[in-house]
Amino acid sequence: IWLLVADYNDRARHIYVSLGFREEGQQREALYKEKKYHNCIMMSILKGEYLELLALEHEDASTSSLIGE
């Protein structure tokens, strides 16, 4: 899965990184907003990376239930 996010959108970028997305590159000055050009950042996550994250979350949930959290 890939996406484009504006370079000034720090909240969205933080969320995407927390979900496992990685920065692939930039489209320089691809957006024009409020009389200023901004870069678009391309981010992606590969199927294997996503499945690995799911496995880790499942593992963490199993461990938590075993120790009574």
pLDDT tens, position by position, 25-68? 999 999 999 999 999 999 999 999 999 999 988 877 766 655 56
| pLDDT tens digits along 4-27 | 999 999 999 999 999 999 999 999
CA 2, CA 69: separation in Å to the nearest integer?
35
CA distances (Å), origin 50, targets 1, 12, 33, 43, 47: 10, 18, 33, 13, 5
